[in-house]
Copies of this chain bind each other. A is one copy, B any other.
Amino acid sequence: MSEPKTTVRELIREKYATLTASEKKLANALLENYPAAGIASITVVAQNADVSTPTVARMVGKLGFKGFPQFHQSLLSELQAKVQGPTQRRANWATEAPESHLLNRFSQAITRNLSQTLSNVDHDKFDKAAGCLADTNGRLYIVGGRITRALAEYAFTHFQAIRERVTHMTSSSATWPHYVLDMVKGDTLLMFDIRRYETNLLRLAELAKERGVTVIVVTDQWASPIASIADYTFNCWVEIPSAWDSNVSTMMLLETLIAAVQEENWPRAKDRYERLDEIFEAARLFRKP
């Protein structure tokens, strides 16, 4: 089909900036459950998005439709086109972009990586590792390599929010001895080491291990040498059509670990979150409005 073919979805995105607060709410509800959320009477659509009928009518107007029925009809045709369309669009992933577009090639690779990563996690070890990360009797050290420094930082930001006694070992290895000096049995060291494995990190792991520290390493599918001495190893699939490696799956694993720790420490973590929010709020008030 060579039509200009603007879908309602595109229309919403296009005008999104010009929408008001509750219109955005509606837009999100629509996009979230598209197009189902839009195919109903205006009253129902409004209710499901938790806005008033006029808001729906107004937004539909803004999108360029003459009235709700027209909008409704438009969604309906889209739905129908989809059904009759040439061999159902591939999965959910396909955006409206052509098959060969980078977005699609990428999403495919990433999907594969996530799937591989997940099916290679031993959930028993996962739980145990989460237990170590949650244990506040010991100190938690976090360290990453050149590229994974960002992940280490992300981990630090979150772990700091949900538990005490967390240390981010900066990536400058010159400072590491200071930290190692204080490591004792019962502490945990969370390491990120993705290929182009770094010798420094291996040395660090060895030193930590000598002191009875529990070592958890998040690495790639080929496994960093650290894996052979670590207590817990997690392999993340990282290949993408590119010169470098993807860290999406690593990020997912990390977030899941954080969530697990949060759950384990719940009442305390919650308390910390709330206090943290309060402090940020207070800090914000220092600034002039």
Contacts and interface: CB of A to CB of B under 8 A. Distances in A.
A48 interface: no
- Overall SS of chain A's interface: helix
Interface in A95-128: 95-98, 101-103, 106-107, 110-111, 114-116, 118-123, 126
A119 B93 contact: yes
A241 B244 CA distance: 31
B116 A114 contact: no
Nearest to A122: B13
Interface in A23-71: 24, 28, 31-32, 36, 39
A71 to B, nearest CB: 15
A32 B106 CA distance: 18
A255 B240 contact: yes
A32 B97 CA distance: 28
A92 B119 contact: yes
Given A103-B123, A240-B259, 9 more contacts: A39-B76, A96-B119, A97-B126, A106-B256, A110-B114, A146-B280, A153-B153, A161-B244, A248-B251
